[in-house]
Amino acid sequence: MAAISPADGPVAVTGASGYIGSWAVHDLMEQGYEVRACVRDPSNTEKVDHLLAMNDRDLGGHVELHAGDLFDRGSYDDAFKGSCAVMHIGATVGYNQETPQQVYDGCFTEVEHLIESTKKAGTVKRFVFTSSFAAVGHPSPEGYVFTEKDWCDDNRDPDRWSDEHIAENRDIAYAMAKARAEKMIYAMAQEDGGFEAMAILPLHVIGPLMCANHDQGWSWQNCIKYMLLGKPYRKSKGGRMLWNNVDVRDVGKAHRLCAESAVANNASRYILSASDRTGELFTWELQAKLKSLFPAIEDIGGEHMEEGKPKEKTYDSPRSYCTLAQEELGLTPYSIDETLRATVDSYIELGLLAQ
């Protein structure tokens, strides 16, 4: 089935105002696409001004705003009509007080609505879903290297990780929903025959923010901001975590590469993570790297340290590399230094590092 090009018509992007969605829009415009940026409220200037400003920057393409709510059946009909591809990047990700069960159920409702609008349009050739590395990862031995062949719902450790925990654990609800929504979309595309579906599976996404709204509480970039403010990293016990980093610009771009690829086809999935071990850093290593890149920042927080050394050893997981995206899609990832510099520079430029 044909891959897309700008000559095939507009590309619709859900969640276009968000961190990843905005970079997907930017990348499409750089390639000369007409972009239909779908947002809940086109009049919310804090969320859309940076998108509209792209029209003044001679990027090559053009963006227009379309209103759509993922929970409103039919609200994407207009945006998808005549579009050659859909990038479904928007999501209720569970940081706005949704319960785990709501996160799980919502993912399928959203997808069902969008597939209905896709079928109605009859012009969409490629449907690219932003899944997550969560749809791959699950409790595993230290050092295990995850690939696109892994699925979180293999339930290899049923005591800690199975359907029974969905209602009580947001991470399990989110992971299972992403995995099963992927499978559902691939099956729907297969049955329809008119379009192909594929997925991008990001890990820890960091990189430049385009506006203050991209500094969402508890996002990875927001956690880095707190470290830059000298505060401890609180998302995992003792601040201990293996950060497996990918640049938000690479994640945005991978969506287009997927839609344009002659190699990708229905059910192709691509992990977007570090490209090699240089992008995988324990929190104390990330802290040290930030210190070396930004010596002027006095105090950089992070992991619980004692006498300059980590207080405890970090569990060595998740290891995973975006090798398939490089081989099949031709992605050339940013280096970790480029990504961290751009992340911090954007926080400084947006004036978000003031205490």
Ligand X SMILES: NC(=O)c1ccc[n+]([C@@H]2O[C@H](COP(=O)([O-])OP(=O)(O)OC[C@H]3O[C@@H](n4cnc5c(N)ncnc54)[C@H](OP(=O)(O)O)[C@@H]3O)[C@@H](O)[C@H]2O)c1
Q: What single string gives the DSSP state of each residue in 267-294?
A: TEEEEES-SSGGGEEEHHHHHHHHHHH-
CA-based nearest residue to 209, from 197, 218, 222: 222
Q: Extract the tokens encoding 263.
A: 């190699």
Closer to ligand X at the Cβ: 20 or 310?
20
Task: Provide, rounded to whole angstroms, the least separation between the CB of residue 92 and ligand X.
Answer: 5
Task: Provide, rounded to whole angstroms, the least separation between the CB of residue 219 and ligand X.
Answer: 6
Task: Provide, rounded to whole angstroms, the least separation between the CB of residue 213 and ligand X.
Answer: 7
Q: Which residues pair with 85 in a beta bridge?
A: 11, 126
For ligand X, which residue has the nearest CB? 18
- Which residue, chain included where needed, has tokens 């209602």? 167
Task: Provide, rounded to whole angstroms, the least separation between the CB of residue 69 and ligand X.
Answer: 4
Closer to ligand X at the Cβ: 4 or 39?
39
Alpha helix locations (H) across the chain? Answer: 19-30, 45-53, 77-80, 100-121, 170-192, 220-228, 248-260, 283-293, 323-329, 336-349
In angstroms, the Cα distances linking 211 to 63, 75, 343 are 17, 26, 12
- Residue 244 phi, psi (nearest 5): -110, 95
Closer to ligand X at the Cβ: 39 or 310?
39
Residue type at 263 in one-letter notation = V
Closer to ligand X at the Cβ: 183 or 304?
183
Closer to ligand X at the Cβ: 203 or 264?
203
Closer to ligand X at the Cβ: 69 or 192?
69
Task: Provide, rounded to whole angstroms, the least separation between the CB of residue 110 and ligand X.
Answer: 7
Task: Provide, rounded to whole angstroms, the least separation between the CB of residue 16 and ligand X.
Answer: 7
Question: Prior bond to 318 cis, omega within 30?
Answer: yes
Give the 3-state secondary structure of residue 124. Answer: coil
By CB under 6 A, name the binding residues for ligand X.
15, 17-21, 39-40, 47, 69-71, 89-93, 130, 132, 202, 204-205, 214, 216, 219-220
